[in-house]
Amino acid sequence: MNAKGTFVTFGWTPQEPYDVVDGAALAFVTLSKTFEGDLAGSGAVTMIVSSSEREDSRSYVAMERVSCTLGGRTGTFVLQHNAVSNEGDDSLTCTVVPGSGTGELTGLRGALQIHIAPDGSHSYTFDYEL
């Protein structure tokens, strides 16, 4: 199955880096999301961000608890994010953590793709199985 829609982020709370070595820093960030479309609900994200002195090179890993209605079913699940930006060469994967689905989303599997438009707006496509 496939879900499509948009989302907005808010409540970014970056913390001061907890580790810095030769300009490479590690820091925690938390934020929230509101999803609209085929997946409607909210997300709570906790991430670890690695940045360097090079503006176009950074990465993050994150866990996101999504509370939503998906395909007419209500429940929660966890997405694992892995993102790398290397001098403009970007990769991002968001995978449903196996066994994390609850309620009517028990047994959910899949991967969510995040798309960022030139104007900075965010959308998603979510290929999943229940």
Phi, psi (degrees; rounded to nearest 5) at 60:
-150, 155
**Other CB atoms within 10 A of residue 102 CB:** 15
Residue 87 reports pLDDT greater than 80: no
User: What are the structural domains, with CATH classification, of the chain?
Assistant: 1-51+67-80+105-130 (2.40.350.10)
Interstrand relation of 2-14 and 24-37 (parallel, antiparallel or unpaired): antiparallel
Using 50, 70 and 90 to split pLDDT, how confident is the model at 123?
A: very high
Instruction: Extract the tokens encoding 61.
Output: 């890993």
| pLDDT at residue 53 tops 90 | no
Is the pLDDT at 88 greater than 80? The verdict is: no
Residues 6+ apart with CB under 8 A from 118: none
pLDDT at residue number 42: 98
% the chain with pLDDT above 70: 100
Structure tokens at 122: 């965010």
The whole-number pLDDT of residue 56 equals 80
What does pLDDT average to over the chain? 94
0.85 exceeded by pTM? yes
pLDDT given for residue 49 in this prediction: 94
